[in-house]
């Protein structure tokens, strides 16, 4: 019956039914896919595990989650601010104290965190961080005294942070910020308070000592400053005195140079005046000498003319007397006595003529110049007259007659 019914159905109807079924299946699948499509918020990370595969989706991804086939872990991306509260600790001397710590944690390895932590929310992460910080803080505190911890707070903080960071890193977490906020006494204990009293007393003592030292140093420094100021003042005064001495020396040098210059100028002026006076005196002397010379020349010329005139008169007189004597001698037949007398007359005439000239020249005490050459010279006028006398033959005749007489006497004596 069933086979008959299927055979009676139209094949087109069967194909249409198949297509409709496939369409319904696809539509159902698409609806199921989009219904289970999850868009990851920007502040979350989703870790999806299916069998042995694990995928991570952040705020930029989306996925289809099927509950009966997959497991999902939602991890916040923001930083978790965790404050464990006051941690009760003991130092190496078993003295109690408390530490307040603040930690900021962030998931840096989502797959490791999802694998190691049952849940990843603030409470779960806070519990893990508190346990980790407590363990690290107790380990470090047992190695030091409270005073050492308080003095080396940054060093202790760095060591605790290092231990916490290593432990959280194994869980896929990272301590972004770690800070020891406070170190104080726990309830019912006053260890730190007592230490603070001692510290305060020590600080007061140190403050007093420091104040005394400071006052002493201030006094010493003040005295040093006063001494330095006094030294600086003295040095400044010495510099001023030295500069004043230099200025005075330069002024003296300038005054000396000016005096020397003035003396040189005065000397040059006196020299010029002396030369001018000398030149004036020379000019006056030359003018006076010229006047004397002209006057002397005039007087000498007058004396010369007078002497020449006297000499010519004497010579003429002598020549005339000689001529007369010559004639007498000729008339007397060459008497020897007459010849001698003639010579005496000529000699006396020459002597008188020369004496007149010498007497005239001796009376003239002026400066004069006797020309040697020229027509007006004394010798040039006098010598021709003497030459004329000798050329007249009178001296020759006289000397000839004298010579003849001597020869006659020589022959007579023989």
Could you read off the pLDDT of 179-220 as tens digits, one per residue? Answer: 888 888 888 888 888 887 888 888 888 888 888 888 888 888
Range of the domain at 325: 297-413
How confident is the model at residue 53, as a pLDDT?
Answer: 77
pLDDT-based confidence at 84, cuts 50/70/90? confident
How confident is the model at residue 354, as a pLDDT?
Answer: 60
Instruction: Using DSSP, state whether 103 is helix, strand or coil.
Output: strand
Spell out the residues 6+ positions from residue 173 whose beta carbon is closer than 8 angstroms to its own: 105, 106, 107, 108, 109, 113, 125, 128, 129
How confident is the model at residue 379, as a pLDDT?
Answer: 47
Residue 364 has pLDDT above 60, yes or no: no
How confident is the model at residue 361, as a pLDDT?
Answer: 54
Where among 72, 92, 115 does a domain terminate?
A: 72
Q: What is the average per-residue pLDDT within 80-109?
A: 88
Contact between 349 and 317 under an 8 Å Cβ cutoff? The reply is: yes
Residue 395 has pLDDT above 60, yes or no: no
Q: 153 and 89, same structural domain? A: yes
Scored b (16 or more CB within 10 A) or e, 93-118 reads eebbbbbebebbbbbebbbbbbeebe
Helix axes 153-169, 122-141, angle to 10 degrees: 130
Residue 114 has pLDDT above 60, yes or no: yes
Q: 304 and 392, same structural domain? A: yes
How confident is the model at residue 347, as a pLDDT?
Answer: 62
Q: 128 and 29, same structural domain? A: no
**Distance between CA atoms of residues 104 and 86, nearest Å:** 16
Token pair of 74 as six digits: 């939602």
Residue 17 has pLDDT above 70, yes or no: yes
**Distance between CA atoms of residues 183 and 141, nearest Å:** 12
Token pair of 244 as six digits: 């004043």
At 245-281, the pLDDT tens digits run 888 888 888 888 888 888 888 888 888 988 888 888 8
How confident is the model at residue 367, as a pLDDT?
Answer: 43
Q: Give 107 or 74, the one with higher predicted confidence.
A: 107
**Distance between CA atoms of residues 14 and 169, nearest Å:** 63
Residue 69 has pLDDT above 80, yes or no: no
Least confident of 278-282, 304-308, 314-318, 407-411: 407-411
Is residue 18 one of the residues assigned to a domain? yes
**Distance between CA atoms of residues 269 and 256, nearest Å:** 19
The CATH number of whichever domain residue 112 belongs to comes to 3.30.479.30
**Distance between CA atoms of residues 391 and 403, nearest Å:** 19
Residue 139 has pLDDT above 60, yes or no: yes
The listed range with the strongest mean pLDDT (74-78, 156-160, 208-212) is 156-160
Q: 98 and 48, same structural domain? A: no
Q: 314 and 361, same structural domain? A: yes
Is residue 85 one of the residues assigned to a domain? yes
Least confident of 288-302, 349-363, 370-384: 370-384
Residue 121 has pLDDT above 50, yes or no: yes
Q: 96 and 47, same structural domain? A: no
Q: 25 and 91, same structural domain? A: no
Contact between 105 and 125 under an 8 Å Cβ cutoff? The reply is: yes
Is residue 115 one of the residues assigned to a domain? yes
Where among 189, 214, 243 does a domain terminate?
A: 189
Spell out the residues 6+ positions from residue 411 whose beta carbon is closer than 8 angstroms to its own: none
Return the number of other C-beta atoms located less than 10 Å from residue 27's C-beta. 10
Q: What is the average per-residue pLDDT within 106-126?
A: 81
Residue 370 has pLDDT above 50, yes or no: no
Contact between 57 and 46 under an 8 Å Cβ cutoff? The reply is: yes
Within its chain, how far is the Cα of 307 from the centroid? 98
Domains identified in the chain, total number: 3
Contact between 341 and 321 under an 8 Å Cβ cutoff? The reply is: no
- Beta bridge pairs of residue 53: 50
Is residue 127 one of the residues assigned to a domain? yes
Is residue 283 one of the residues assigned to a domain? no
Q: 133 and 46, same structural domain? A: no
Q: 32 and 85, same structural domain? A: no
Token pair of 364 as six digits: 């003239």
pLDDT-based confidence at 342, cuts 50/70/90? low
The residue assigned the tokens 């104040």 is: 211
Instruction: Using DSSP, state whether 59 is helix, strand or coil.
Output: coil
Is residue 229 one of the residues assigned to a domain? no
How confident is the model at residue 158, as a pLDDT?
Answer: 92
**Distance between CA atoms of residues 375 and 367, nearest Å:** 21
Q: Give 62 or 89, the one with higher predicted confidence.
A: 89
Is residue 359 one of the residues assigned to a domain? yes
Q: 394 and 319, same structural domain? A: yes
């Amino acid at each position: 019956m069933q086979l008959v019914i299927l055979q009676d159905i139209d094949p087109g109807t069967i194909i249409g039914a198949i297509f409709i079924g496939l369409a319904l299946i696809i539509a159902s699948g698409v609806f199921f896919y989009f219904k289970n499509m999850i868009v990851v918020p920007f502040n979350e990370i989703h870790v999806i595990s299916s069998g042995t595969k694990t995928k991570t989706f952040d705020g930029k991804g989306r996925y289809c989650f099927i509950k009966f086939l997959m497991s999902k872990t939602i991890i916040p991306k923001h930083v978790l601010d965790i404050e464990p509260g006051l941690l009760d600790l003991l130092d190496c001397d078993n003295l109690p104290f408390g530490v307040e710590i603040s930690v900021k944690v962030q998931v840096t390895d989502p797959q490791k965190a999802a694998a190691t932590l049952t849940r990843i929310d603030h409470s779960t992460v806070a519990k893990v961080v508190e346990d980790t910080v407590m363990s690290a803080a107790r380990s470090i505190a047992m190695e030091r005294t409270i005073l050492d911890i308080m003095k080396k707070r940054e060093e202790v903080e760095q060591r605790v942070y290092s231990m916490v960071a290593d432990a959280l890193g194994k869980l896929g977490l990272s301590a972004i910020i770690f800070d020891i906020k406070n170190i104080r006494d726990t309830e019912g204990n006053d260890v730190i308070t007592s230490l603070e009293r001692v510290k305060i007393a020590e600080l007061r003592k140190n403050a007093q000592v420091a104040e005394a030292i400071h006052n002493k140093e201030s006094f010493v420094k003040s005295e040093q400053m006063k001494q330095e100021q006094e030294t600086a003042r003295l040095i400044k005064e010495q510099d001023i005195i030295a500069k004043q001495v230099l200025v005075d020396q330069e002024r003296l040098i300038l005054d000396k140079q000016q005096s020397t210059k003035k003396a040189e100028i005065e000397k040059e002026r006196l020299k010029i005046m002396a030369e001018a006076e000398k030149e004036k005196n020379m000019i006056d002397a030359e003018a006076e000498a010229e006047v004397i010379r002209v006057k002397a020349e005039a007087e000498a010329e007058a004396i010369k003319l007078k002497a020449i005139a006297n000499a010519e008169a004497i010579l003429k007189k002598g020549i005339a007397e000689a001529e007369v004597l010559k004639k007498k001698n000729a008339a007397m037949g060459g008497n020897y006595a007459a010849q001698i007398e003639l010579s005496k007359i000529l000699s006396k005439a020459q002597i008188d003529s020369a004496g007149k000239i010498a007497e005239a020249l001796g009376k003239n005490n002026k400066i004069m110049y006797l020309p040697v050459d020229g027509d007006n010279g004394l010798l040039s006028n006098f010598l021709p007259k003497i030459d004329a006398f000798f050329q007249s033959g009178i001296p020759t005749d006289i000397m000839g007659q004298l010579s003849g007489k001597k020869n006659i006497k020589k022959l007579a004596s023989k």
